[in-house]
């Protein structure tokens, strides 16, 4: 009997550490719940469920992204831009014999694909027996459209034809140009460029060089622009022959043109 009681006593004594550990765990859980304000296993499970990533959700998100890309492609602005410009030019032409005044029309067409563009303009000067055709390749360094502040580099060729000269003269001067456009407000701005012509040999004029510069203001009304520019052009003829005479019969050396351009420009 005594041995059986001792055995039960030792068995109960061996269970005390387990009971003590369980009691300490309960006390710790209650303390944590009191310190954190609440201890809800269901809420924690819901939080984990909300952040759970599934393959079905990933596929659904991929479909939504594809639909958003299609919508942006249909509703975003086109990378292509076009402009049509008509100019009425009043200018003075100064040669060694004196100064004369002229009025001529011109037309310009431009097309851009993002930062690259092409420009073609034509000026008809029948009163001087001359015509200019200019072709330019444009590279826009800064600015995102034709109707924004921008800095653009150009390279092109001026083809100037003369009538009434023997032999016939056609000047093909290549040139480099830099253009700057600044909007001072949403609808008003400044515009200008400088163009430097490369030498071109001609039987009547010798080596022909020169430059052209322009500056002025403009006002935009949505896709319509009204502008007024001052311009100056210098043509230098190194060794003109007696055939290279102006309408007054004077041999052309340096030729200066300066005046005012007014006109209208449309953007598409």
- In whole angstroms, give the CA distance from residue 218 to residue 214: 13
Q: Are residues 213 and 129 in the same domain?
A: yes
Residue at which a domain ends, from 75, 101, 124: 75
7: left (phi over 0), alpha (psi -120 to 50) or beta: alpha
Picking from 195, 232, 212, the residue whose alpha carbon sits closest to that of residue 93 is 232
Q: Are residues 95 and 63 in the same domain?
A: no
Q: Are residues 160 and 198 in the same domain?
A: yes
Q: Are residues 37 and 96 in the same domain?
A: no
Residue at which a domain ends, from 22, 46, 75: 75
The CATH number of whichever domain residue 192 belongs to comes to 2.40.128.100
> Half-sphere exposure of 229 toward its Cβ, with a 13 Å CA cutoff?
25
Beta-ladder partners of 186: none
The band of 1, judged by pLDDT with boundaries at 50, 70 and 90, is low
Beta-ladder partners of 81: 112
- In 10 A of CB 79, how many CB atoms? 9
What's the total number of domains in the chain? 2
The average confidence (pLDDT) of the chain is: 82
Q: State the pTM of this model.
A: 0.69
Q: Are residues 35 and 85 in the same domain?
A: no
Q: Is the Cα torsion angle 246, 251, 253, 254 positive or negative in sign?
A: negative
**Would you state the pLDDT for residue 85?**
97
- In whole angstroms, give the CA distance from residue 56 to residue 94: 79
Q: Are residues 69 and 91 in the same domain?
A: no
Q: How far is CA 93 from CA 52, 107, 181, 212, in A?
A: 80, 20, 27, 14
User: By the 8 A CB rule, do 154 and 179 touch?
Assistant: yes
- In whole angstroms, give the CA distance from residue 15 to residue 164: 126
Q: Are residues 106 and 67 in the same domain?
A: no
pLDDT of 72 above 80: no
Q: Are residues 185 and 257 in the same domain?
A: yes
Q: Which residues of 22-41 are buried (b: 16+ CB within 10 A; e: fewer)?
A: eeeeeeeeeeeeeeeeeeee
pLDDT of 4 above 60: no
60: left (phi over 0), alpha (psi -120 to 50) or beta: alpha
Max mean pLDDT range (3-7, 16-20, 31-35, 90-94) = 90-94
How confident is the model over 75-96, as a mean pLDDT? Answer: 88
The band of 69, judged by pLDDT with boundaries at 50, 70 and 90, is low
Residue at which a domain ends, from 43, 75, 107: 75
Q: Are residues 29 and 110 in the same domain?
A: no
Unique residue bearing structure tokens 């006390």:
27
% pLDDT > 90, the chain: 52
Joined together, the tokens standing for residue 84 give 């049509």
More confident residue, 32 or 155: 155
Q: Are residues 63 and 104 in the same domain?
A: no
Domain hosting residue 173, numbered range: 80-267
Q: Are residues 184 and 245 in the same domain?
A: yes
């Amino acid at each position: 009997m005594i041995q059986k009681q001792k055995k039960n006593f030792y068995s109960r004594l061996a269970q005390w550490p387990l009971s003590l550990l369980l009691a300490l765990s309960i006390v710790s859980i209650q303390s944590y719940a009191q310190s954190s304000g609440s201890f809800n296993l269901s809420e924690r499970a819901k939080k984990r469920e909300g952040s759970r990533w599934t393959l079905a959700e990933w596929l659904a998100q991929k479909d939504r992204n594809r639909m958003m890309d299609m919508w942006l492609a249909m509703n975003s602005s086109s990378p292509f831009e076009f402009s049509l410009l008509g100019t009425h030019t009043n200018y003075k032409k100064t040669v060694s014999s004196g100064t004369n005044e002229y009025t001529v029309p011109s037309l310009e067409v431009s097309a851009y694909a993002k930062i690259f563009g092409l420009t073609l303009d034509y000026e008809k000067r029948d009163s001087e027996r001359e015509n200019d055709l200019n072709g330019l390749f444009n590279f826009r360094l800064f600015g995102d459209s034709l109707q924004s502040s921008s800095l653009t580099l150009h390279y092109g060729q001026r083809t100037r034809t003369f009538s009434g000269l023997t032999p016939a003269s056609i000047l093909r001067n290549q040139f480099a140009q830099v253009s700057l456009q600044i909007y001072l407000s949403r609808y008003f701005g400044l515009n200008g460029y400088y163009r430097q012509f490369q030498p071109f040999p001609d039987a009547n004029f010798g080596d022909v060089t020169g430059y052209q510069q322009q500056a002025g203001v403009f006002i935009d009304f949505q896709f319509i622009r009204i502008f007024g520019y001052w311009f100056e052009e210098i043509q230098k003829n190194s060794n003109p022959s007696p055939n290279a005479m102006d309408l007054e019969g004077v041999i052309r050396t340096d030729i200066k043109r300066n005046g005012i351009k007014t006109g209208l420009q449309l953007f598409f």
